[in-house]
Amino acid sequence: MTQPPISIESGFQQTLKRGGRVKIRIHKILEGSLVDGPGKRTVLFLQGCPIHCPGCQSQQTWNPEGGQEWEVVALADELTRRGAETGEYTISGGEPFFQPEALLGLLKALRERGANHIIVYTGYELEVLASQNHPARPYLEEILPLVDVLVDGPFRAELDNPFLSYRGSSNQRAIDVPTSMAIGSTVLLDWGQNPEIVAENGRLVIPIGLYPVFAEVGEGHPTRRCGELMER
Per-residue pLDDT, 67: 95
pTM check: above 0.85: no
Phi first, then psi, for residue 76 (nearest 5°) are: -60, -40
Domains of the chain with CATH codes: 21-197 (3.20.20.70)
pLDDT digits over 42-93, tens only? 999 999 999 999 988 889 999 999 999 999 999 999 999 999 999 999 999 8
SS3 of the chain: helix, strand, coil, percent, to 5 = 25, 20, 55
In angstroms, the Cα distances linking 45 to 23, 28, 67, 125, 144 are 15, 5, 10, 19, 19
pLDDT score, position 191? 58
Q: How far is CA 194 from the centre of its chain?
A: 21
Residue 165, φ and ψ in degrees, nearest 5:
-95, 120
Alpha-carbon distances of 215 from 73, 96, 184, rounded to whole Å: 31, 20, 11
Low pLDDT (below 50) residues in the chain: 1-20, 192-232
What's the pLDDT at 134?
Answer: 94
